[in-house]
Amino acid sequence: MSAIGLGQAVVLGIVEGVTEFLPVSSTGHLKITEGLMDIPVDDNAVVGFTAVIQVGAIAAVLVYFFSDIRRFVSAWFQGIRNPELRDRHDYKFAWWVVYATLPIVAVGLAAKKLIDGPLGSLWVVAGSLIVGSAVMWAADQMGRHKRGEDDIDFKDAMIVGSSQILALLFPGFSRSGATMSTALIRDLDRVAATRLSFFLSIPALTGAGLYELKDATGGGVGLGPLAVGTVVSFVVAYASIAWLLKFVAKHSFNAFVVYRIIIGVLLFGLLGANVISA
Query: CB-hemisphere CA count at 13 Å for 9?
Result: 26
Give the per-residue pLDDT at 209.
72
Burial 227-243 (b: 16+ CB within 10 A, else e): bbbbbbbbebbbebbee
Give the per-residue pLDDT at 73.
95
Identity of the amino acid at 184: L
Digit-coded pLDDT (tens) for 30-73? 888 988 888 877 777 787 788 888 889 989 999 999 999 999 99
What is the rounded distance in angstroms from the CA atom of residue 91 to the CA atom of residue 78? 8
Following DSSP, what letter does each residue of the chain receive, concatenated?
--SS-HHHHHHHHHHHHHHTTTTT-HHHHHHHHHHHTT--TT-HHHHHHHHHTHHHHHHHHHHHTHHHHHHHHHHHHHHHH-GGGTTSHHHHHHHHHHHHHHHHHHHHHHTHHHHHTGGGSHHHHHHHHHHHHHHHHHHHHH----B-GGG--HHHHHHHHHTHHHHHHSTTS-HHHHHHHHHHHTTB-HHHHHHHHHHHHHHHHHHHHHHHHHHHHHTT--HHHHHHHHHHHHHHHHHHHHHHHHHHTT--SHHHHHHHHHHHHHHHHHHHTTSS--
> Residues 30, 49: contact at Cβ < 8 Å?
no
What is the rounded distance in angstroms from the CA atom of residue 114 to the CA atom of residue 9? 26
What is the rounded distance in angstroms from the CA atom of residue 91 to the CA atom of residue 167? 28
Beta bridge partners of residue 188, listed in sequence order:
147
**Residue 207 Cα to chain centre, angstroms:** 12
Give the per-residue pLDDT at 212.
67
Beta bridge partners of residue 147, listed in sequence order:
188
What is the rounded distance in angstroms from the CA atom of residue 41 to the CA atom of residue 21? 21
What are phi and psi for residue 22, nearest 5 degrees? Answer: -75, 145
Per-block mean pLDDT, blocks of 10 residues, the chain (278 long) = 82 95 88 84 77 88 95 96 94 96 92 82 91 95 93 96 93 92 96 95 82 62 87 96 95 95 92 83
Give the per-residue pLDDT at 47.
77
Chain length of the chain: 278
What is the rounded distance in angstroms from the CA atom of residue 213 to the CA atom of residue 41? 16
Is the alpha carbon torsion for 25, 266, 47, 111 positive or negative?
positive
Give the per-residue pLDDT at 154.
96
Give the per-residue pLDDT at 31.
81
Give the per-residue pLDDT at 12.
95
